[in-house]
Structure 1
Amino acid sequence: MAPDRIDQNVYEDQLKDIIQDLYELMVQTTSYGNVGQGVSSKDVLQNTVAHLHASLTQLHASASSPFAAPIRVPPELIQYVDAGRNPDIYTREFVELARRGNQLMKGKKQAFGSFRDILAREMASALPEVKGDVENVVRETGGEVENAIQIAWDPTSSQALKGQAFEFLNQLREDVSGWQICLTLFTRTPQTSEVVRLVSIEIVNNAVAHQHLDEASLTFLKDSLLEYSRRVYGGSGGQQQADSASLQNKLTQTLTSVFAFSYQRGWESFFSDFLSMTCLPNSTSCDNLAGTALYLRILGSVHDEIADVFLSRTGEDQKRNNDLKDLLRERDVPKIATSWQEILTYWQGKNDTLVEMCLKVIGRWVNWIDISLVVNQNFLTILLQLIGRVAPNNGEDKVRDAAIGCLTETVGKKMKAGDKMDMIEFLNLGDIVSQLVASPALANRFGSDYDVDFAEAVAKLVNGAVFDIVKALEESADGSPTRVKADQQLLIFLPHLLRFFSDEYDEPCSTVIPSLTDLLTLFRRAQPLPAQYSSMLSPILNAIITKMRYDDTASWDDQVTETDGAEFMELRKRLEVLQKIVAAVDQTLYIDVLSNVVGNTFQSIEQRGSGVNWRDIDLALHEMYLFGELAVPNSGLYAKSQPSSVASERLIAMMQKMIESGIASYNHPAIQLQYMEICVRYCSFFENQSAFIPQVLEHFVALVHHNHVRVRTRSWYLFGRFVKHLRAILGNVAETVITSISDLLVIKAEVPKPDDEDDMSSDESDHSAGAVFTSQLYLFEAVGTIASTSTTPVDKKVLYARMVLEPLFANMEQALPAARNGNAQANLQIHHIIMALGTLAHGFSDWTPGISSAGSKAPADEISQEFNRAAEAILVALESLKSPPEIRTAARSAFTRLVGTVGARLLPQLPRWISGLLSTESSKDEMAMFLRVLDQVVFGFKTEIIGVLDSLLSPLLMRIFNSLGEAVSGTDDEIQLGELRREYLTFLQVILNNDLASVLVSETNQGLFDVLLISVETLAKNVNNGTGHLAASRMSFSILAKMAQLWGGPDVATPSHYPETATPAPTPAFPGFDQFLINRFNPVCWEVLRNPDFRPYQDAQAKSVLTEIAGLQQIIYSKTGMLFIEHLQQSFFPSMGFDGSDIIRSMTTSNDRKVFANFLVAYLKQRA
């Protein structure tokens, strides 16, 4: 064997040694005689000279060797050195010179390109006969296209130039011959810039996909791309450098598009052509790296084009793809499958990237090719070697993960249940999984070297296998060979399933949840459950419960990231579903297991106290919370003072044990919060176990002072819920509670900072000042609830009300002067106090006027009088501070709550409330909301309010009319206007429906009645597609019908199959109202019916409007009889140009207005 050539690095090292010897020689000569004692300068110098001689001799031998590599030193460099100049400077100057040369060459190229384009334009203009030839030359040299692409992607180009460039490229994309220029740009040598080539091949691909190229064009394109691919990827000695990843992706996409149109006829050798590029010249192995990578990319792209089930395709494309797959299976799939084995065999251990690519391709193709091409001994041997290989330092191994993914896809291939069980058995899949679980990457589940990604990959394999096993059990008959094999495999895979389900990390656990859900669903359907399955339930349930526990590394506080907390809560929800299925399969097992988990935890607390891990207590409380879904059915926890079920009995025992264990004093926020949540969830327990109420109430009073903001604010809400549910049995504990929490009833408003307004935190994690105050309001409601129990004397109720009200009044009085001067903090303080007053009132009484309820009645007169002071205080603040919208909002909220507490005493104040709440600054939204509240007052006090309503109606209507008449700007304004219309019409309906219609035509309001009627008629006629118009129109016609019914007098005609030909004269409530109905209400109906935008045969909302119109028409007929018919026949219908006899016949003979409405629908559809 010939010796290797001497590498130039050897020369470099020897020269460095000589330079070092020369340097030492210089130093020693300079310091001759100054060396230390006992050392001769002569000896040192002689040694250095001897070492220099040896180095020179060695360099001479290397340079004289026949195997020395030729060294070419530029003469300029030698001159630099001879002149004593630094060779590094020469290098820098050379680089600068080369850069200048490149810039000069680029400038010349661009100049010649510009000259070519200018010359072409001038020649085409001056010599029209050669214009076509000139354009061909420009296109073939890529001039305009290349320049346009460079301009479009040059960040220094002006926007005007960019716009022209993009417009040119878009025109090129649409040009049927534009792709040919771009193909030349992409394949030419020397290559142009990458962006030019990328845009060019994208335009070519667009032409293939969308321009339906003819056969000749496809052949030309195929030949060009194939020649280019062989030149760049074929492995020849002079090949170009392979394209970048983005260019390769676009190239394979274009080749795939050509394949889709040419494989059936024209490019039958598609796969053979690219498979041949995997081998270097004169080789039979797949040893060409670039060609093999391109081949695998093409295989992946072909799968995506014709076999990806996640892409939506047209029926025509799907048929084409199915035909291509059938043809591919017949022609090339066996050859392709063989190439996979060859690629894996050759590149295993040489290039992991290619091996990974190949495995992923196999995993995608295996779903639609013959499984025997993959499931065979040769392929499985290679695959198992890759699966079993150990990564360095037990780190991430993408090849191993890809091999497992490939095996997972293979196992998941759709086939008959019996064949699938045979394949799983043939693969010996259970043993493979066992070996993977025992591998170093997964053996130490709690170590730092545990590979979570690998665990997730194996979990996917297990999930797919169990899914197929369950499917086989569902589809096979008892005793059949398939059922027997499936049962055997289930016994093998259940431990693996539970192993990954119980994994410390959530990713492997979440991966196997779908198959575990399928298994439990199978158990639920197989009732009664066979014995071999019953034994599986207990370990499954235990695994579910264990997985619901917080990890030992997790903490429950604000330091836990929101993502971690949200993911764990989401996992708990999924586990809860599994737990419910287990309960449905075996309720007794579920009850026993959960009872043991909860009971043992409470017993540990009694024995060890704070020594019990908070995570164990949290788990027990969480399971206890979930247990209620079984233990508290629709019949409740108790039935006739006895537990309603076995589960209820166990839950009652758990509740007793929980309270007695002293768990409320366990010093952890999660446990204290869970304790309160459970007490509220199972409030019905205390109805029969009232002896525990004082103890639990004491716990609540302590926890509302908790130092953790999340526990503290949540406890205020839970405390309110607890006392509200148990109001009837709380007893007289108000004074103690109010005294204990009086420090929490102090209001201290904090003006939010600008940053707080952008905070998008959830309600649970929002601890801003505004969110804390919202929670504080629950305390005021709770105080009102406790202070107003049935066992509390009235005088005590008044006393407790004053204990809370007086500090609020004083606080308001103190803040009012500063608020009048525009102080933001004082304004917010007033807002908070008003809200607190309203909430306290609501706690004292949840009675709703006008609605009779056995459990709710009007408060005592003394209580109403006390809260009337609160209403007066709010009015004073409102009259002083009309401008701030937040004050009006708070006052409106308080007014709603005060209605049930103050009662009819509120009515004399109503004009002041309206004046304050509906100021000139009030928005349409505010007005709509107040009208909603006013509806409640009118309905609740309909017998007392008529006098007050009569006096305030006109001012109120004027404000409404002004708002309705304002111009609309923007979508939000349109929505608010639509809401105001709806509430205005609802208010009128409430008046008409509660025997208060007389106020509309009273002496006080008579002057506005015509304006009111015009507003209703206008809204009735507006049926365009704007926001809420059709709904307002329907309500308006309903109001007109109600007015006609109320004031039209007694009926003089009745629609029937045989209508009267003569009817009595109308006797309306007001003289002339019969003519009013005919001349005002009837034309409104027909203005809508003749509107071309009104299409009740297409729009359900429009049809509901038509139903109201039909009803109004029949009411007019009922009230006016033949007077109306004669008007229609003699005047109205002729003036509109049609007879109308069919309409009159349907109106007078239809007993139901829907029949008449359907007739009108058909009539309008026919006319349309």
Structure 2
Amino acid sequence: MDEQALLGLNPNANADFRERALAYFEQLKVSQDAWQVCAEALAQRIYSDDHVKFFCFQVLEHQIKFKYAELTALQQQLIRETLITWIQAQMLNSQPEKTFIRNKAAQVFALVFVTEYLTKWPKFFFDILSVVGLNPRGVDLYLRILMAIDAEVVDRDIIHTPELQLDLQEARRNTLLKDTMREQCIPNLVESWYQILQTYQHTNSELTCQCLEVIGAYVSWIDLTLIANDRFINMLLGHMSVEVLREEACDCLYEIVNKGMDPVDKTKLVESLCQVLQSAGFFSVNQEEDVDFLARFSKLVNGMGQSLIVSWTKLVKSGDMKSAQDTLQSIESKVPLMLQLLIHEDDDISSNIIGFCYEYLHILKQLVLLSDQQKTNVEAIMLAVMKKLTYDEEYNFENEGEDEAMFVEYRKQLKLLLDRLAQVSPELLLASIRRVFNGTLQNWQSSPFMEIEVAIRLLYMLGEAIPASHGAHFCGDVAKASALQDMMRTLVTSGVSAYNHTSVTLEFFETVVRYEKFFTVEPIHIPNVLMAFLDHRGLRNSSPKVRSRTAYLFSRFVKSLHKHMNAFVEDILSRIQDLLELSPPENGFQTLLSSDDQLFIYETAGVLIVNSDYPAERKSILMRNLLNPLMEKFKILLQKLVVEQDEERRTVLADCLNHAVGFASRTSKAFSNKQTVKQCGCSGVYLDCLQNFLPALSCPVQKETLRGGVRTFLHRMIICLEEEVLPFIPTASEHMLKDCEAKDLQEFIPLINQITAKFKAQVSPFLQQVFMPLLHAIFEVLVRPSEENDQSAALDKQMLRRSYFAFLQTVTGSGMSEVIANQGAENVERVLFTIIQGAVEYPDPIAQKTCFIILSKLVELWGGKDGLVGFADFVYKHIVPACFLAPLKPTFDLADAQTILALSECAVTMKTIYLKRGPECIQYLQQEYLPSLQVAPEIIQEFCQALQQPDAKVFKNYLKVFFQRAKP
């Protein structure tokens, strides 16, 4: 072997050596006989360097995985002998191999097993067992090989091959391997495991744990009676009391319990296990106990509980009520243990038992009457859930890390339990939460934050746990309504909103917003809650997290209760004035709210103004007071941006200008069909905004950012201002069409489409004026050369082409074809040819579909006897051929859904030509066009008959068949 190259295998080798070693590995992989050198090196222990040994196994692994079939019988024999020789050597070595080498060797053994066991090496296991005996090093390798075989043959988590066909082949092979093992050797393997456990349980915990892991892995598919018998189970239960073995023993028992079985047998098995565990003292959980073990034990109890519930369900379904009753008693007897684990202070232990708990409640939900004990169990689960929902002292609210994220997930599991409890006994849940809530809020000043937070959280959760149709919590069902209503009254009058802790504050605001319907029943409490939102408790809280969330919740609160806020509108507006400041971060100064949070505040201000009972003049003044500072600041910042030289500062200014436009835009969301901009007297102020914002379009720097913002504002104004926006469109368009990139145009076209579709004839003069400049800008970008492999540029062009055709579709579909017709003969022709090109030449079914829609519309408008001069000629020379050439293209995939839609529009185009031109069209197809394509006369006849069918669907279906036959 290349000794120099092997030096690069050392982790500390320099980059050149590592590079050389990598190249050497690639060279050996493709070499015919390099694997033999590696096999010899392993068998004869030529190298002592661990990394070289590992390397040799890697070369062997590659040979077996990818080139084994190319080997002769003798060479395959050599590999088998090498592996056995290697194992024999391990038992004589003074030092055991490193773990990573043993694991790699086990993988190679497993690959040979998969390839050879069914054919050339049926004695695989016997050969290994005869070599290793009970030698500890040999046993270690034997167990590793068994785990590697499990990973290769059984473990469902390991994806071996991506292709479905290979997956099926592999699944069949794996089934055959397991069947053969069951027939030929599983009893012997099980016996070997027993001997290993017997020999090493007191002297070698590592081997014992390995063996338990193997049993756990194999028990899912071998005969359970081989393991679930007195000698094995007694040994496993003995291991449960040995500290170094009990976690593995727990996992092994879990796998045994999880094995699919007859429900009566399963109940007996679980019961017998439980009796032994109980008599050994495992059913009284010691809080001081090692948490790692208890987490495994909790998983085991969960497995036992869920297995019993599956058995109960099967027995009930089969009608065996006697056995079902026995199984239910068995389940009930585990509930005290389940509760001890559920309430454990370690969340992993508690989390592992939630499945059993959830399923147990599901059983109770199905029972007609609950016994006193069952009611007690429900209450105990309820109290456990309430206790476990509580935050730890250490929870970091301002900087949540992995531990916090795990607790949030754990809380979600507990919420599912709470919802299930509500289904079993809503009255009980309501009473329990009410007791906890009232008790805690009576003494909130002296209580720790976590108790208060969880009390309010429980009130919040009730809304989903006990659903109420539209506000019924606060009217209708008196028992439920009054309980929730009382708790809400307590929440908003107790003063708890002043509690100084992030979690309590947030929970308070989340809850008042969830139950906003309470305030429609008792509006007297609205002023107090508004003050909480507006002062240091909410929007001016010291925590940025609270301020941010409150901004959103405040907007929701105001939106849902604006009818009750008329008296406070101007007071609220004056109090939030400072939060609406538009200022770029300067000298390290940070505003209280981020620009995203400010969006909610602007929207809230808009909602208050628009929905107030003020006359239009007053609304107009208030809206102007809200937006004038934005416009003033915008002018100043835009002037600064134009002269600013520093690129970073330019970005900051442009973002700030963009925020200003976004804020103004957001206020307009408050208007509706009932409260339009015009009715509220606010048209003037928004037109002023337009006047102020449009100059940004001609700013020579930061074009993309500024154009994006102004364009979005224009979209909003087209909706809100109606035709009053039209005078601004020409100037805006002129600026947006200057120095365009594909993306700019692509984003500008929807704006023109929106105007065209909304205002139709009103914008005809403008459209005629902008039509060719827009098209020239599009064509200029489309013909601009780009790198051959530039995927991003190619995609931008494709999207622009689609946008261009969408524009033409909007123009023709809005009854404004005269816009195109008035462009002069040369330009009209150019446009028509681009549509034909789009229909035929580009392999983009979405664009092709649009092009055929445009063509059929133009045929409908211009294709009749008194249509556009010269258009009939164009129909026969270009549109008819397009309807055949497009579907005949190799790229036109008739198995693709989008392409079928394009074909459907192609059929509509043909049909429209026939309807407009009548017999003349049929004659042209029969005598000129179809014969020129060498179509057989009988097929021509068939085609023309289908085209003349009154039902358009008949022709669509026919056309698909026609092209399926026509394609090579």
Aligned residues of 1:242 and 1:290 also touching (Cα < 8 A): yes
Q: Cα distance 1:1007–1:905, how it changes in 2: closer, same or farther (>3 A)?
A: farther
Query: 1:46: which partner in 2?
Result: none
**Aligned pair 1:1115/2:912, yes or no?**
yes
Query: 2:729: which partner in 1?
Result: 910
Higher gyration radius (CA): 1
Query: Alignment partner of 2:760: what SS?
Result: coil
Residue identity matched to 1:1157 = K
Query: 1:1001: which partner in 2?
Result: 821
From 690, 696, 699, give the equivalent of 2:529: 696
Of residues 255-264 and 400-409 in structure 1, the stretch that sits farther from structure 2 once superposed is 255-264
Report the Cα distance in structure 2 between the residues aligned to 1:320 and 1:1165, rounded to whole angstroms: 39
Measured after TM superposition, the shift of residue 874 of structure 1 is: 0.8
Query: 1:444: which partner in 2?
Result: 287
Which structure is richer in relative contact order (CA contacts within 8 A, separation 6 or more)? 2
From 881, 885, 888, give the equivalent of 1:1087: 885
Aligned residues of 1:1146 and 1:1159 also touching (Cα < 8 A): no
Give me the TM-score of the superposition, normalised by structure 1.
Answer: 0.74
Aligned residues of 1:1074 and 1:1119 also touching (Cα < 8 A): no
Report the Cα distance in structure 2 between the residues aligned to 1:652 and 1:1007, rounded to whole angstroms: 75
Q: Cα distance 1:433–1:941, how it changes in 2: closer, same or farther (>3 A)?
A: farther
Query: 2:253: which partner in 1?
Result: 407
Query: 1:551: which partner in 2?
Result: 392
Of residues 311-320 and 878-887 in structure 1, the stretch that sits farther from structure 2 once superposed is 311-320
Query: Alignment partner of 1:1095: what SS?
Result: coil
**Aligned pair 1:924/2:742, yes or no?**
yes
Measured after TM superposition, the shift of residue 162 of structure 1 is: 5.0
**Aligned pair 1:511/2:345, yes or no?**
no
Aligned residues of 2:187 and 2:226 also touching (Cα < 8 A): yes
Residue identity matched to 1:843 = T
Query: 2:596: which partner in 1?
Result: 774
Tell me how many residue pairs correspond in the alignment. 947
**Deviations 1:453-495 (CA, angstroms, capped at 9, x unpaired):** 1111111111111111101111114665532432232122112
Aligned residues of 2:212 and 2:249 also touching (Cα < 8 A): yes
Measured after TM superposition, the shift of residue 701 of structure 1 is: 1.9
| Pairing of 1:1148-1163 with structure 2 (within 5 A) | 1148-1163=947-962
Query: 2:337: which partner in 1?
Result: 496
Report the Cα distance in structure 2 between the residues aligned to 1:956 and 1:331, rounded to whole angstroms: 79
Q: Cα distance 1:425–1:785, how it changes in 2: closer, same or farther (>3 A)?
A: closer
Residue identity matched to 2:831 = L
From 1071, 1075, 1080, give the equivalent of 2:873: 1075
Aligned residues of 1:816 and 1:877 also touching (Cα < 8 A): yes
Query: Alignment partner of 1:230: what SS?
Result: helix
Aligned residues of 2:602 and 2:663 also touching (Cα < 8 A): yes
Query: Alignment partner of 2:240: what SS?
Result: helix
Report the Cα distance in structure 1 between the residues aligned to 2:683 and 2:813, rounded to whole angstroms: 28
Report the Cα distance in structure 2 between the residues aligned to 1:265 and 1:1105, rounded to whole angstroms: 55
Measured after TM superposition, the shift of residue 1115 of structure 1 is: 1.0
Report the Cα distance in structure 2 between the residues aligned to 1:827 and 1:1005, rounded to whole angstroms: 44
From 774, 783, 791, give the equivalent of 1:965: 783
Aligned residues of 2:642 and 2:701 also touching (Cα < 8 A): no
Q: Cα distance 1:648–1:1143, how it changes in 2: closer, same or farther (>3 A)?
A: farther
Aligned residues of 1:863 and 1:901 also touching (Cα < 8 A): no
| Pairing of 1:748-897 with structure 2 (within 5 A) | 748-750=583-585, 772-822=594-644, 825=649, 828-829=652-653, 831-833=655-657, 835-840=659-664, 842-844=666-668, 846-847=670-671, 853=673, 855-860=674-679, 862-881=681-700, 883-897=702-716
**Aligned pair 1:682/2:515, yes or no?**
yes
**Deviations 1:864-907 (CA, angstroms, capped at 9, x unpaired):** 11221111111233334565321212212222233344432221
From 659, 674, 691, give the equivalent of 2:492: 659
Query: Alignment partner of 1:556: what SS?
Result: coil
Query: 2:934: which partner in 1?
Result: 1137
Q: Structure 2: give runs of 5+ residues left out of the alignment.
A: 161-166
Query: Alignment partner of 1:435: what SS?
Result: coil
Report the Cα distance in structure 1 between the residues aligned to 2:597 and 2:356, rounded to whole angstroms: 43
Measured after TM superposition, the shift of residue 156 of structure 1 is: 7.2
From 214, 226, 244, give the equivalent of 1:361: 214
Q: Cα distance 1:691–1:1165, how it changes in 2: closer, same or farther (>3 A)?
A: same
Measured after TM superposition, the shift of residue 818 of structure 1 is: 2.0
Report the Cα distance in structure 2 between the residues aligned to 1:771 and 1:971, rounded to whole angstroms: 40
**Aligned pair 1:352/2:205, yes or no?**
yes
Report the Cα distance in structure 2 between the residues aligned to 1:986 and 1:265, rounded to whole angstroms: 64
Query: 2:142: which partner in 1?
Result: 295
Give me the TM-score of the superposition, normalised by structure 2.
Answer: 0.89
Aligned residues of 1:1114 and 1:1147 also touching (Cα < 8 A): no
Report the Cα distance in structure 2 between the residues aligned to 1:361 and 1:616, rounded to whole angstroms: 46
**Deviations 1:239-266 (CA, angstroms, capped at 9, x unpaired):** 6544332333333344445555666777
Aligned residues of 1:597 and 1:620 also touching (Cα < 8 A): yes
Query: 1:100: which partner in 2?
Result: none
Measured after TM superposition, the shift of residue 573 of structure 1 is: 2.1
Q: Cα distance 1:433–1:148, how it changes in 2: closer, same or farther (>3 A)?
A: farther
Query: Alignment partner of 2:542: what SS?
Result: coil
Aligned residues of 1:218 and 1:262 also touching (Cα < 8 A): no
**Deviations 1:378-405 (CA, angstroms, capped at 9, x unpaired):** 444443333213x5xxxxx4x2211222
Q: Cα distance 1:152–1:725, how it changes in 2: closer, same or farther (>3 A)?
A: same
Report the Cα distance in structure 2 between the residues aligned to 1:167 and 1:830, rounded to whole angstroms: 53
**Aligned pair 1:1030/2:848, yes or no?**
no
Report the Cα distance in structure 2 between the residues aligned to 1:621 and 1:1006, rounded to whole angstroms: 74
Report the Cα distance in structure 2 between the residues aligned to 1:743 and 1:651, rounded to whole angstroms: 36
Query: Alignment partner of 2:261: what SS?
Result: coil
Query: 1:1015: which partner in 2?
Result: 834
Measured after TM superposition, the shift of residue 508 of structure 1 is: 1.6
Query: 2:964: which partner in 1?
Result: 1165
Residue identity matched to 1:1079 = K
Query: Alignment partner of 1:860: what SS?
Result: coil
Measured after TM superposition, the shift of residue 1105 of structure 1 is: 0.8
| Pairing of 1:156-171 with structure 2 (within 5 A) | 162=21, 165-171=24-30
**Aligned pair 1:251/2:109, yes or no?**
no
Residue identity matched to 1:986 = A
| Pairing of 1:438-477 with structure 2 (within 5 A) | 438=284, 443-445=286-288, 451-477=290-316
Report the Cα distance in structure 1 between the residues aligned to 2:623 and 2:306, rounded to whole angstroms: 64
Aligned residues of 1:842 and 1:900 also touching (Cα < 8 A): no
Query: 1:35: which partner in 2?
Result: none
Report the Cα distance in structure 2 between the residues aligned to 1:513 and 1:562, rounded to whole angstroms: 24
Query: 1:39: which partner in 2?
Result: none
Measured after TM superposition, the shift of residue 1144 of structure 1 is: 4.5
Query: 1:736: which partner in 2?
Result: 571
From 239, 254, 257, give the equivalent of 1:386: 239
Q: Cα distance 1:791–1:375, how it changes in 2: closer, same or farther (>3 A)?
A: same
What is the percentage of aligned positions where both structures have the same residue? 25
Q: Cα distance 1:151–1:908, how it changes in 2: closer, same or farther (>3 A)?
A: closer
Query: Alignment partner of 1:962: what SS?
Result: helix
Report the Cα distance in structure 2 between the residues aligned to 1:306 and 1:831, rounded to whole angstroms: 57
Residue identity matched to 1:1016 = I
From 260, 267, 273, give the equivalent of 1:427: 273
Query: 2:68: which partner in 1?
Result: 211
Residue identity matched to 1:230 = Q
Residue identity matched to 2:286 = A
Report the Cα distance in structure 2 between the residues aligned to 1:877 and 1:537, rounded to whole angstroms: 65
Report the Cα distance in structure 2 between the residues aligned to 1:298 and 1:883, rounded to whole angstroms: 63
Report the Cα distance in structure 1 between the residues aligned to 2:358 and 2:216, rounded to whole angstroms: 25
**Deviations 1:152-194 (CA, angstroms, capped at 9, x unpaired):** 777576689657634541233xx3x654443322111555544
Report the Cα distance in structure 1 between the residues aligned to 2:480 and 2:793, rounded to whole angstroms: 55
Report the Cα distance in structure 1 between the residues aligned to 2:115 and 2:632, rounded to whole angstroms: 86
Q: Structure 1: give runs of 5+ residues left out of the alignment.
A: 1-143, 280-285, 392-396, 754-766, 1050-1065
Query: Alignment partner of 1:1105: what SS?
Result: helix
Report the Cα distance in structure 2 between the residues aligned to 1:367 and 1:1124, rounded to whole angstroms: 72
